[in-house]
C-alpha cells in the first residue's frame, strides 16, 4: 500500500469527526506555529504548559498535515523541529561541555523524516 493511500485513509477517518474536520484546512499554519513556539521555548521561558501544548499540538497537527498529503509543509515543520534539536546539542556542548545524545538521536530521526517528506514532495510535484 502506498503512503499516499494511507494518508488518504487517515484523512477520511479524521473528516468523520466534526471538530477535527474544522482543523484540517488550517492544520499546516498551526503546525508551523506550534513548531515555532516550541523552538521559541529554548530562548524564552514560556512555561511548561505552553511547551507541552506546542509539543503535543505539533505532532497532532503533523498527522493532520500528512493526512492531506502536504509533504512540503510537513518538511517545513519537521525541519524547524529538527533544528531545535541542533540548538540543544550545540548548547549542551558549549555550555556544559557534554554531548546530549537524546537531542542527537532526535535530530537524526526528525531530520530523516524531514528529508523523506522533501523527497516525497518532489516526487508528487513532478
Which residue has better confidence, 102 or 125? Answer: 102
Q: What is the pTM of this model?
A: 0.90
Mean pLDDT calculated for residue range 6-35: 93
Q: Is the pLDDT of residue 84 over 80?
A: yes
Share of the chain above pLDDT 70, in %: 98
**Is the model's pLDDT at 40 over the cut of 70?**
yes
Q: C-alpha cell of 92? A: 549542551
Amino acid at each position: 500500500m502506498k503512503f499516499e493511500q494511507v494518508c488518504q485513509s487517515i484523512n477520511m477517518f479524521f473528516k468523520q469527526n466534526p471538530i477535527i474536520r474544522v482543523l484540517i484546512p488550517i492544520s499546516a499554519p498551526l503546525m508551523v506555529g506550534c513548531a515555532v513556539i516550541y523552538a521559541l521555548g529554548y530562548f524564552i521561558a514560556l512555561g511548561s504548559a505552553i511547551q507541552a501544548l506546542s509539543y503535543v499540538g505539533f505532532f497532532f497537527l503533523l498527522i493532520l498535515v500528512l493526512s492531506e498529503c502536504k509533504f512540503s509543509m510537513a518538511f517545513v515543520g519537521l525541519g524547524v523541529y529538527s533544528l531545535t534539536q541542533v540548538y540543544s546539542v550545540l548548547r549542551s556542548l558549549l555550555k556544559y561541555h557534554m554531548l546530549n545524545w537524546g537531542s542527537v538521536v532526535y535530530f537524526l530521526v526528525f531530520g530523516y523524516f524531514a528529508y523523506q517528506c522533501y523527497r516525497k514532495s518532489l516526487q508528487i510535484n513532478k
